[in-house]
Amino acid sequence: MHPLALEDVLHQRGNARSKADYYNKHLFLRVLCHSLSNDDDVGGTSISHLPRSESPTNIDDDDEEEDSEFQFGKSGKAAETDVDDERTMYGSANASRFSTQRGNGGNTLRHRFGRADVESPPAPNLARFAGFEEEVKANKDARNRKLLRELKRGDRVNVNIAPLCIFLMRDGTVISMHKDNTLNFTAPITERLRQRDTGLRTTADPSLLVQSLLDLVVDQALEVVDEYQGRILKIEQAVLLKPSMKTVRRLHILQGDLILHKRTLEPIKTVIYGLRRYDVDRVMALREHVDPNAKVEGYMSHKAKIYLADVHDHMEYILTSLDMIAGITDNLINYTFNMASYDMNETMRQLTLATIIFLPLTLLTGYFGMNFNVMPSVQDHSDALFWEIAMPVMVVVVILFMQNDIKRMVHYLSKRMTRHRIKKNYRTKRA
């Protein structure tokens, strides 16, 4: 196995994406699996960080130094010849082999060859300080993720995102690595292999097994999409019945998760398309001297590429479904805020209407309520004079300030009458 592929397996990063790497001896695939999980799975929405493996026994520094001296005790010419023989397009194999050893062996090799190493370790104090900063940052990020996960608990679809690593060797060996140690993930494929009449067993095609693993990943992603569709359907019913800020909060959480899942699912489509279209081309690119008459075989068989077309179509459906659900979520959020604005405008309109109606009454009440000693309009008349003046003034003010509303009401009533007349004539003709 290539060292770069092993590095991708052992050291997973939070922003790791699905990819396919071609090497001379094997094909390496890393695909992010999306599966539904329960609320108790606290790590269900994050990508797992695989720790470095620990040695079962203590390593003797003296023995290690002796081994290093033994390895580097050659003559300079012989050592340089060995390095040139093992040098590849990815660097020196010796440098990769001894880069993780302790002691001064790496520095001895660099001094002996007379060239600097850009990946040389920093000074001990600087390395310790840098490691402390990275640890503090990692703890802070983990704390923020945990707090955010608790805030979103109950309002999100719990999706477990974990990498699946696949090695396809030239001799037909397939090695798959997944963090689920219960083998529930590969149970459907195991069941197919146990049956005699299945195509996966009769063909004995290793690339078809890789296609089955990719198909299994896509099937679990389809379950995630179905769960989101069911969740968004319930929220849509709640929004249409009575919009509230609680539903907006749930929609906001779902929309953020949909954006994340789209970002992690899109590379899977690219990987599948690359396996179908550029399998042979990428194998040819690994060779320095290509004979035009020689037949180049890729890692994927013709039958596996045909079946990968269905997997590619399923991924296309998944991505379009995520776009559709994200669009519905955005529309529901806009609808909720539009309804809130409409309700506020209706309330203000009602208050404005009441103010317009009572404006002349308030004005006349202030006039007739003056405390003058001599006031003929009050002393020589009854309250009938107040209403004789107030009613005409109120009618004029209401018509003046609400003439646009009155026009719209008249237009609406005329449309209703026209529709009623058309329906009546249609029924008469049918009779």
19-61, pLDDT tens digit by residue? 898 988 889 999 999 988 876 554 444 444 444 444 444 444 4
Burial class (CB in 10 A: 0-12, 13-18, 19+), 390: middle
Q: Let me know: does 406 contact 399? Beta carbons within 8 Å.
A: yes
User: What is the band of 380 on the pLDDT scale with cuts at 50, 70, 90?
Assistant: confident
Q: Where are the domains of the chain?
A: 62-113, 182-341, 371-431
Alpha carbon 155 to chain centroid distance? 16
| Lowest mean pLDDT across 78-92, 124-138, 203-217, 316-330 | 78-92
CA distance 41 to 158: 8
CA distance 228 to 262: 13
Q: How far is CA 10 from CA 5, 49, 164, 167, in A?
A: 9, 9, 12, 14
Burial class (CB in 10 A: 0-12, 13-18, 19+), 38: exposed
Q: Which residue has the higher pLDDT, 319 or 97?
A: 319
Report whether pLDDT(407) > 50. Answer: yes
User: What is the band of 316 on the pLDDT scale with cuts at 50, 70, 90?
Assistant: very high
CA distance 245 to 250: 9
Q: What angle do CA 301, 302, 303 make, to 5 degrees?
A: 90
CA distance 254 to 265: 16
3-class SS of residue 44: coil
CA distance 243 to 235: 10
CA distance 283 to 272: 16
CA distance 363 to 394: 10
11-28, pLDDT tens digit by residue? 777 657 888 989 888 899
User: What is the band of 216 on the pLDDT scale with cuts at 50, 70, 90?
Assistant: very high
2.40.50.100, 3.30.70.890, 1.20.58.340, 1.10.10.410: which CATH number matches 182-341?
1.20.58.340
Residue type, 364: L
Report whether pLDDT(309) > 90. Answer: yes
pTM (whole model) above 0.85: no
In percent, how much of the chain has pLDDT > 90?
Answer: 22
Mean pLDDT for the stretch of residues 406-423: 90
In percent, how much of the chain has pLDDT > 70?
Answer: 76
Q: Let me know: does 167 contact 27? Beta carbons within 8 Å.
A: yes
Q: What angle do CA 208, 210, 215 make, to 5 degrees?
A: 90
User: What is the band of 126 on the pLDDT scale with cuts at 50, 70, 90?
Assistant: low
User: What is the band of 245 on the pLDDT scale with cuts at 50, 70, 90?
Assistant: confident
Q: Let me know: does 254 contact 156? Beta carbons within 8 Å.
A: yes
Per-residue confidence (pLDDT) for residue 400, from 0 to 100: 83
User: What is the band of 81 on the pLDDT scale with cuts at 50, 70, 90?
Assistant: very low
Q: What is the DSSP string of 236-304?
A: HHHHHH---HHHHHHHHHHHHHHHHHHHHHHHHHHHHHHHHHSHHHHHHHH-SS--TTSPP--SS-HHH
Nearest to 248 by CA among 130, 134, 374, 338: 338
Q: Let me know: does 1 contact 8? Beta carbons within 8 Å.
A: no
Q: Which helix (H) or strand (E) holds 159?
A: strand 159-169
User: What is the band of 128 on the pLDDT scale with cuts at 50, 70, 90?
Assistant: low
